Amino acid sequence: MNFDTALTKVGTPLADIEAYKKTEVRKFHQELTPSITFANNSIESLEKFIAEKIHPFLAKIERRNVQDPEIAKWLEALRGTFEKPNALRLVIRDAEKVTWKQISQTVYPDELDKLGRDALLRGYQRRLTCFGDVQGKSTWYMGLIETRVLMLAEQPGPAAVVVSRTIAPSVEEAMSADESDDG
């Protein structure tokens, strides 16, 4: 057997290696396609929900100056919903940028790291599909805010006074409470 025949038998042509790499990367992206489609549909429905439900609700609340720490906390959580579509878009961009380098072995760069590839694939699938029930949670926060506003409106006196009492009692109330405990 001569050297050329032996080299052909032992070595793999570089074109075949490059084709194998492209095929594996393409398979990776094809397996992610359903998750990316789901995330894109979720982004659209979430943006529609934000425009139709959350923005009008926040506009109604922001026309008034409601001084309540509970409401402020829930409004902040509700505003966090605005970041979800962009966060999903960033995950999609990350997933679309995966190349051979991320799914190959460190020691043998021409070999596929099957465990690493599968872990990366599952990680992206999870991040693209399991971001939580954003609409349900937003609806829940809006319900909490409405309930709190109704409760504050039923309290005697201005709502700000009621709120300040829920945070800390006035000096007179604290002193009268101490005197009644002593007696």
Beta bridge partners of 112: 104
Give the pLDDT of residue 169.
Answer: 43
Q: Does a structural domain hold residue 105?
A: yes
Q: Does a structural domain hold residue 165?
A: yes
C-alpha to C-alpha distance for 13 and 177, rounded to whole angstroms: 88
Q: Does a structural domain hold residue 151?
A: yes
Q: Does a structural domain hold residue 163?
A: yes
Q: Does a structural domain hold residue 182?
A: no
Q: Does a structural domain hold residue 1?
A: no
Q: Does a structural domain hold residue 2?
A: no
pLDDT tens-place string over residues 133-155: 889 999 999 999 999 999 988 88
Residue bearing the bigger pLDDT, 18 or 109:
18
Q: Sorting pLDDT into bands at 50, 70 and 90, what band is 156?
A: confident
Average pLDDT over residues 15-32: 92
Using alpha carbons, list the distances in angstroms from residue 165 to 44, 72, 81, 148: 43, 17, 31, 15
Q: Sorting pLDDT into bands at 50, 70 and 90, what band is 157?
A: low
Q: Which residues lie closer than 8 Å to 57 by C-beta, 6 or more apart?
A: 78, 142, 145
Print the domain residue range for 36.
9-170
Name the domain count of the chain.
1
Give the pLDDT of residue 33.
Answer: 95
Q: Is the pLDDT of residue 178 over 70?
A: no
Q: What is the mean pLDDT of the chain?
A: 84
Q: Does a structural domain hold residue 118?
A: yes
Give the pLDDT of residue 158.
Answer: 61
* Percent of the chain with pLDDT strictly greater than 70: 85
3-state secondary structure at position 98: coil
Q: Is the pLDDT of residue 174 over 50?
A: no
Q: Sorting pLDDT into bands at 50, 70 and 90, what band is 159?
A: low
Average pLDDT over residues 104-130: 89
